[in-house]
């Protein structure tokens, strides 16, 4: 990408997209294109086609998606598979129709089988059954990967697909009904502290292990790969280390300063037992994560506090 390249970041206000925007701007890319979901509904093929027809886009970071945690995936499976299939199909096809030079499709490590060997290698894709709680979302993401690979094969496009591990950071979703485990924990512990609750209840047993990558690290990797990687094969993006949900809760509890008790509701689902990605390929391409989990959790909680303060200020105006 040249500094003057016209770059469209789809999903620029979300956790991933906003981090990519920050990274691009920090590196001097100043010809960025954004549209909110109100301005451009990516589920609408006519609207997406008209957008690409008029904007002269050179590069696309496809970070727009319908996302959520176990609760949201379980309650809205049709929404997750429908919206994600529509978003990625419209953007990928319009990018081809209007001569986009390169597109990056952001998937998820939930594409891998529930019982994939750990750490999960890129070659483990489609070697076993998926985790039932997020199967519709995972199938949509797998379809996006295959669509990019198929367009490369048939049309000679340059579409690359990256699979980030569990993400967190500024602009994450802290809604308890729709968020992922880490931001949900931050909010639960914070509210328990401020409201003086004696107990925080968490879903599952606390034994599943998860890997967590800061969104700013992901953005750094995405910009790096957009400039250096040109193969159809997928690339995992992660840190190569994981932690149990119980250990994560202890870290967040300490950072928030909550002194009450923590109990686990084992009647609730744990999800996949372990999700750790093999980052050998990514490291071999010349990139490694830089933000430690402790550092990232502290800065994310600080961002959460500042956001809460801002919202209170707006409410009082």
Q: What ranges make up the beta strands (E) of 140-266?
A: 159-164, 166-168, 199-203, 209-210, 212-214, 235-237, 243-244, 261-265
Is 303 annotated as ligand-binding?
Answer: no
146 annotated binding-site participant: no
- The answer to the question of whether 278 is labelled as a binding residue is no
* DSSP states of 187-200: HHHHHHHHHT-SEE
**Binding residue per annotation — 276?**
no
Q: Is 169 annotated as a binding residue?
A: no
**Residue 156 assigned as binding residue:** no
Residue 310 marked as a ligand binder: no
φ, ψ at 172 (rounded to 5°): -70, 165
Check whether 99 is labelled as a binding-site residue.
no
* 180 in a labelled binding site: yes
Inter-CA distances, 204 with 118, 263, 270, Å: 21, 10, 5
From the candidates 137, 168, 229, 258, which is the catalytic residue?
A: 137
Q: Which of 297, 206, 214 is nearest to 257 (CA)?
A: 297
Task: Enter the tokens of residue 274.
Answer: 């372990």
Best CA proximity match to 209, nearest among 255, 165, 262, 263: 165
Burial of residue 106, with CB atoms counted within 10 A of its CB: 0-12 exposed, 13-18 middle, 19 or more buried: buried
- Annotated binding residue at 284? no
| Block residue for tokens 């990687």 | 229
SS3 assignment for 249-292: HHHHHHHHCCCCEEEEECCCCCCCCEECECCHHHHHCCCCCCCC
183 annotated among ligand-binding-site residues? no
Q: Is 128 annotated as a binding residue?
A: no
Q: Is 188 annotated as a binding residue?
A: yes
Q: Is 172 annotated as a binding residue?
A: no
Q: What are phi and psi of 282, to 5 degrees?
A: -60, -45
In the residue annotation, 137 being an active-site residue is answered as: yes
Binding site residues for substrate, as ranges?
188, 203, 210, 270
Binding site residues for NADP(+), as ranges?
11-17, 106-109, 141, 164-167, 180
Catalytic residue IDs = 137
Binding site residues, as ranges?
11-17, 106-109, 141, 164-167, 180, 188, 203, 210, 270
């Amino acid at each position: 990408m040249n500094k003057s390249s016209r770059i469209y970041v789809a999903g620029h206000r979300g956790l991933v997209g906003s981090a990519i925007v920050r990274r691009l701007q920090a590196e001097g890319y100043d010809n960025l294109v954004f549209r909110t979901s109100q301005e451009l509904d990516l589920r609408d093929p006519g609207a997406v086609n008209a957008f690409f027809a008029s904007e002269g886009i050179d590069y696309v970071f496809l970070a727009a998606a319908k996302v959520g945690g176990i609760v949201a995936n379980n309650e809205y499976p049709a929404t997750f598979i429908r919206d994600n299939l529509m978003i990625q199909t419209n953007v990928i096809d319009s990018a081809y129709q209007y001569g986009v030079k390169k597109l990056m499709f952001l998937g998820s490590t939930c594409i891998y089988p529930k019982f994939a060997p750990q750490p999960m290698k890129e070659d483990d894709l489609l070697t076993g059954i998926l985790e039932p709680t997020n199967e519709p979302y995972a199938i949509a993401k797998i379809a996006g990967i295959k669509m990019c690979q198929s367009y490369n094969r048939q049309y000679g496009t340059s579409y690359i697909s990256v699979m980030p591990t569990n993400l967190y950071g500024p602009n994450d979703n802290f809604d308890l009904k729709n968020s992922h485990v880490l931001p949900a924990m931050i909010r639960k512990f914070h509210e328990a502290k401020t409201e003086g609750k004696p107990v925080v209840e968490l879903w599952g047993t606390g034994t599943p292990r998860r890997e967590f990558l800061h969104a700013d690290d992901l953005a750094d990797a995405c910009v790096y790969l957009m400039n250096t990687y040109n193969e159809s094969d997928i690339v995992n993006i992660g840190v190569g280390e994981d932690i149990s949900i119980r250990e994560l809760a202890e870290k967040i509890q300490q950072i928030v300063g909550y002194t009450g008790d923590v109990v686990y509701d084992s009647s609730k689902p744990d999800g996949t037992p372990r999700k750790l990605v093999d980052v050998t390929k990514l490291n071999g391409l010349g990139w490694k994560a830089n933000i430690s989990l402790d550092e990232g959790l502290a800065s994310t909680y600080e961002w959460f506090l500042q956001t809460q303060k801002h919202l209170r200020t707006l409410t009082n105006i």
